[in-house]
Amino acid sequence: MSKKMFVKLAFENIKKNARLYVPQMIITAVMTAALYILTAITIDERISGSGASVLPIALKYANPVYIGISVIVILYTNSFLMKQRKSEYGLYNVLGLGKKHITFIMFFEMAFSASASILSGGVLGLILYKLATLFLSYVLRVNTVYSEMKIFWGMLLVSMLTFAGVYVFTFICNVISILRLKPLQLVESKKKGEREPKVKALLLIEGLITLGAGYYIALTTKHSITAVSLFFFAVVLVIVGTYSLFTAGTIFILKMLKKNTNFYYNKKHMTAVSGLLYRMKQNAVGLASICILSTMVIIMVSVSSSLFARVDSVIEEQMPNDMEASITYGDLSEEKNLEVRKIIEEVVEEEAKKQGVEIAYKQERNAYAMAVLYKEGVIYSDLMDYNALKENSPIQLFCITDQEYERLTGKNCKVADDSAIVYGLKTNNIKFDDEIVFSDLKLKIEKTIEEYPIPMEAYKFFDCFGIIVTQKTMDDLEAFQLKSTDEMTNEMDHVHDVVFNFKGSESQKLKLSQAVEKRVDKIVNKKAKAYAKANNPKGHENEISRRGMVSYKAGLRESLYDTYGSLMFIAVILGMIFLMVTVIIIYYKQISEGYEDRGRFQIMQKVGMSEREVKDSIKTQVLIVFFLPVAVAAVHVLVAYPLIESLLMMLGLADKAITRCYTVGTYGIFFVVYVGIYLFTSKVYYKLVR
């Protein structure tokens, strides 16, 4: 046979099996386009030059994961195609075509489908990159307008070659599978059945243990710091447990249903349960994949949306003033601290005058900060390592004297020695009633207040309290802190802040703040380092450099939009891809089920089942299989919610109502889309089995 004939046969086969090839080609094109967008962003100087520092770094870690998922998807779709096509290849073999000829046909089929999908994906990527950068400029809140149509040929080539390489690998696997089978085996491969699966007790137990362990971590982890280190471990456990329980657990449940005679000996139930039981080994992996992908989409979109929606509120909470100079030199003298603050004030006044910006408000604040541990009603000052955080709750305490409170607020404040007036963040889990008990000191709580002059919202990932005490009690607290065994926390930090508000535009404030930050870094920290080197033990002289910091609202806004906007962008892109992958998995599963059930349901109709009864049986099977993954995904999200809240606390989002609202809303939208997929694929399934 001539190559022209092979080409013609391959083209006709793709056309005849468009129902099978087109979805694979679409998902490959979309994944190629997405890979180009995600890789091009990492080298686009316009994006990095606009202040986006988080996104390129995040994508360097996210892109390999995305490529891995893409490879798995193509292998999955290829395995489905080969299962449907093997009998056709076997028929060619029986009719006289050698396996060499069949290999040529397979080559041209894959060449046509791969070329069409990868090339169209490249073109789609070039078109969508402009839209992606516009969306990116919106979520990052940058003024850069990406008007130029820029093409990154290197990244385009890498993206296309990546998927071309995957197709070459699948072609080699397909050829090997064809060469290994005899003609009759190829013809009968589609009809090959499976023995009734047995319950794999060890796999069932392993699934229960791993899923239970993942759930336990999610439900019992209370502190944001430990949540960061345990989150990914819990995710792995839940993924392993999900696959194990879908494989072994579903078979166990189906066998229990089969033993229930009232349920099983019903025409529509019997056909559905028996069919699922015989093919659950294959279905289980697909169902578990749908469940995991659904969970990922819901969590990614809900978390990123809730963060992005609250970014302006977080800015106001963490930085209520235009600028804050924080001097927390615990290892410098009080006199030296005040000298440093005076230098900063002079720098701000000089720069404001130079740039024509009026200082509308200035306030000096003096406080003491201490990080402590809390357990069973007692506060300890000890080493804050991982083990300590597992067994104790971290607390951040801000302490001011009654005289300082009066100076800052203008309100009278009288408090006795060994007593305290207490303020606590609403997000705190720990509550003090009548007294605060330190390991060797007790403070009676005289009253609680609703406002505190030192902002503490930036420390929401801890339980955070502000207390007002006398100078004598302050000295006692410092003596308590000195007993700590942790060299980094055995002194109270003397926090000397000065805050400013300016009259002017946002651009003027940003320019002024950046100029002040630059000068302070050169002048103040240089002097502080020199002082620390002369007055601190060898090896500790550089610790002072981390303690002098100028913060400003414009810089915080830029930083948070960079972080939250980057997360939003990645979540939207990957969420859309994962949703499409979910659709493809469901679509192929339904077609596969339809082809396999066609003969069986035709037999059922011949022995007396009406068309309505066949449709009811299909509906029962589809409902059980279809909505199980999304139901389990809802459980996963619900259980993961406390751990997610702890992680969001680290990122500055403490508004649980917002997070819950977006999570419920995201799940609701996803469920509606999922039902739409169900309605479409169930019609395809029914057409196949009629």
- CA–CA distances in Å: residue 74 to residues 123, 126, 162, 450, 587: 20, 22, 12, 58, 14
Q: How far is CA 641 from the centre of its chain?
A: 12
Q: What is residue 155's predicted lDDT score, i.e. its pLDDT?
A: 94
3-state helix, strand, coil in the chain (%, to 5): 70, 10, 20
Q: Residue type at 604?
A: M
- CA–CA distances in Å: residue 381 to residues 394, 397, 576: 10, 11, 48
Q: Residue type at 98?
A: G
What whole-number distance in Å separates Cα of residue 28 and Cα of residue 135?
23
Each residue's pLDDT tens digit, 117-165: 999 999 999 999 988 988 888 888 876 655 567 889 999 999 999 999 9
What whole-number distance in Å separates Cα of residue 443 and Cα of residue 434?
9
Q: What tokens does 69 get? A: 């998922």
| Contact between residue 426 and residue 405 where contact means Cβ atoms under 8 Å apart | no
- CA–CA distances in Å: residue 612 to residues 270, 602, 608, 619: 15, 13, 11, 10
Residue 267 predicted with pLDDT over 70: no
What whole-number distance in Å separates Cα of residue 422 and Cα of residue 379?
15
Residue 647 predicted with pLDDT over 70: yes
- For residue 495, the cross-strand partners are 328, 367
Residues 610, 616, 620: CA angle, nearest 5 degrees: 145
Mean pLDDT of all residues in 514-540: 67
- Nearest-Å Rg of the Cα atoms of the chain is 32
What whole-number distance in Å separates Cα of residue 144 and Cα of residue 49?
9
Q: What is residue 591's predicted lDDT score, i.e. its pLDDT?
A: 81
Q: Could you list the beta-strand ranges (E) of 544-683.
A: 548-552
| Contact between residue 400 and residue 454 where contact means Cβ atoms under 8 Å apart | yes
When pLDDT is cut at 50, 70 and 90, the band that residue 181 belongs to is: confident
Q: Strand 393-401 relative to strand 441-448: parallel, antiparallel, unpaired?
A: unpaired
Mean pLDDT of all residues in 65-81: 88
Residue 49 predicted with pLDDT over 80: no
Each residue's pLDDT tens digit, 347-361: 899 999 998 999 999
Kindly report the length of the chain: 690
- For residue 438, the cross-strand partners are 379, 441
What whole-number distance in Å separates Cα of residue 10 and Cα of residue 113?
10
What whole-number distance in Å separates Cα of residue 39 and Cα of residue 315?
31
